[in-house]
Amino acid sequence: MKTTFDFSGRSVLVTGASSGIGRVTVEMLCASGAQVVAAARNVGELARLAEETGCEPLVLDVGDEAAIDEALAPLDVFDGLVNCAGTTVLERAVDTTAASFDNVMNVNARGAALVARHIARAMINAKRAGSIVNVSSQAALVGLDDHLSYCASKAAMDAITRVLCVELGGYGIRVNSVNPTVTLTPMAVKAWSEPSKRDPALQAIPLKRFAEPREVAEPILFLLSDAAGMISGVTLPIDGGYTAR
């Protein structure tokens, strides 16, 4: 896989690594020379990813605080973190339940904060500068039908990004978010195959297309790299212009 980045000698933890954007990010990081720990819940997919890329698989549920502490405690300090684990529940605002809201917030916002907390502590203790990239969403920036919990969780993730940027900057740790539109993972291809759903969404995007996973992973690698050495606290829409309207 061609790439313009060189992460030789650097280690990166990627959560949500077994599919979609997380998986492609792992593939690109490994192809760029990084030592990658790929974390997710799907044991089988992690094993396949490890065989294909040489990454180190780590079974992890970021919605479980105890599991985070147990899984990350034995690991060495990292140079980078990509918080890509995520979940969603589609329901009307008037049908939102406490259970569904809490589940989405626990994974998308609380999980990202707790993983970042652990990784940042280790960076600080080792006096190692680094970069954290949170995979947020255009849903953090606009209101979307049937996405109350998801929109709230991704807006919280962007707020977490800003606070981490302010608190960790003095240690040389940069923190940014990427905010993609619909990204054509295999699951998304199926979910958006119905023209009545797909076509209005495409019309709202000035570029008139959805994102490919690589088009999200490449900006993630950029933000992890030295090329983004003065960029921190940013929420970067990767949405073909959707949020410009």
pLDDT tens digits, residue range 18-68?
999 999 999 999 999 999 999 999 999 999 999 999 999 999 999 999 999
Number of domains in the chain: 1
Confidence bin at 3 (pLDDT 50/70/90): low
Residue 138: what pLDDT? 96
CATH number (domain holding residue 162): 3.40.50.720
118-143: b (≥16 Cβ within 10 Å) or e: bbbebbbeeeeebbbbbbbbbbbbbe
In a domain, 190, yes or no: no
Band of pLDDT at residue 1, cut at 50, 70 and 90? very low
Q: Which domain holds residue 171?
A: 11-185+213-238
Residue of 5, 150, 210, 242 with catalytic role:
150
- Check: CB of residue 120 under 8 Å from CB of residue 168: yes
Does 60 reside within a domain?
A: yes
- Per-residue pLDDT of 66-118, as tens digits, reads 999 999 999 999 999 999 999 988 899 999 999 999 999 999 999 999 999 99
Q: What is the pLDDT of residues 148-172, one digit of tens each?
A: 999 999 999 999 999 999 999 999 9
Whether 245 is covered by a domain: the verdict is no
The verdict on whether 171 is a catalytic residue reads: no
